[in-house]
Amino acid sequence: MSAPAGTIYYTRDGTDPRLRGGAVSPAALVYGGPVVLNQSARIKARVFNGGVWSAVVDATFYVIQNFSELLLSEIMYHPPGATNFDGDQLEFIELKSVASTNLDLSGLHFTNGIEYTCPV
């Protein structure tokens, strides 16, 4: 992050570094060098210069993970329908983690055949 003048404030939890009314948020950090992320995070940043705030910059960063221990354990494809609903509404896939640590699925998405992105 860089700015020609002023102080860069940022948050790692997706909140605005500026509070309503113009004060610095208690969650805001002063940028002073590289930000190390060990988990996926939504970063918001603003510059405060001469009593004036810049527009907010909002970006979500995803930590690259190995999903080899994330298994597709069950599929329900094209189940029969009934009179009150279409069977396609009951389609699902089940994922199972066999990893020894928690997997962060934030932003994980399917690229072929399924349209779904895991929430952040």
Residue 51 lies in a domain: yes
The domain tally of the chain equals: 1
pLDDT tens digits, one per residue of 10-64: 999 989 999 999 999 999 999 999 999 888 889 999 999 999 999 999 998 887 7
**Span 81-109, average pLDDT:** 83
- Give domain status of residue 23, yes or no: yes
Nearest-Å Rg of the Cα atoms of the chain is: 21
Does some domain include residue 118? no
Domain coverage including residue 48: 7-61
**Which pTM value belongs to this model?**
0.62
**CB of 110 within 8 A of CB of 67?**
no
Residue-wise pLDDT for 60-72, tens only, equals: 888 777 888 999 9
Contact criterion met (CB below 8 Å) for 10 and 48: no
How far apart CA 17 and CA 4 sit, in angstroms, is: 19
- The answer to whether residue 70 sits within a structural domain is no
19 found inside a domain: yes
27 within some domain: yes
